[in-house]
Structure 1
Amino acid sequence: MFGEKKKKEEPRFVETMVPSKGGCFTRILVDTENGIQYLFVDSSEGGGLTVMVDEDGKPLINEAYRRKTE
């Protein structure tokens, strides 16, 4: 209860702003569990979220944020 330190939880997703033009906000979200990257676009008229993939259609993985399970 008092005096106990809570274990600080790491956020599930980290976010990076990407420069954009024309009233549109673009972010890359990275899932810290598996490192998969998502593209999020938000504008005054709508928005969308999609997984980022490589040329073979496999999800892009950011190893810097991926939690190691080994």
Structure 2
Amino acid sequence: MSKDNRFEIVYQETGLKSEKTIYVDKETGVNYLFIANGFGGGLTPLLDVEGKPIITK
């Protein structure tokens, strides 16, 4: 793997206590949603209507 960052931020929304960020894995193209709220957070792949991961080419 190269020395460049593997993940790219393509969208970010910041609120008073929460933050939503969409990352794209540059190697696979899979989109991930990360939500941080207070001291907690979660990461999940974004899925289309058929339940398959959304992939950016």
Structure with greater Cα Rg: 1
Deviation above 2 Å: which 4+ runs of structure 1?
16-22
Deviation digits for residues 34-60 of structure 1 (CA, Å, limit 9, x no counterpart): 100000001114110000000000000
Q: Tell me the number of residue pairs that the alignment of Structure 1 and Structure 2 aligns.
A: 56
Q: Which residue of 2 aligns with 1:15?
A: 9
SS in 2 for 1:61: coil
- Judging by fraction of residues, say which structure has more strand: 2
Structure 1: segments with no counterpart, 5+ residues: 1-7, 64-70
Normalising by structure 1, report the TM-score: 0.68
Unaligned runs of 5+ in 2: none
C-alpha separation in 1, matches of 2:43 and 2:13: 17
Among the aligned pairs, what percent are the same residue?
Answer: 36
Q: Structure 2-normalised TM-score? A: 0.81
Structure 2 partner of 1:5: none
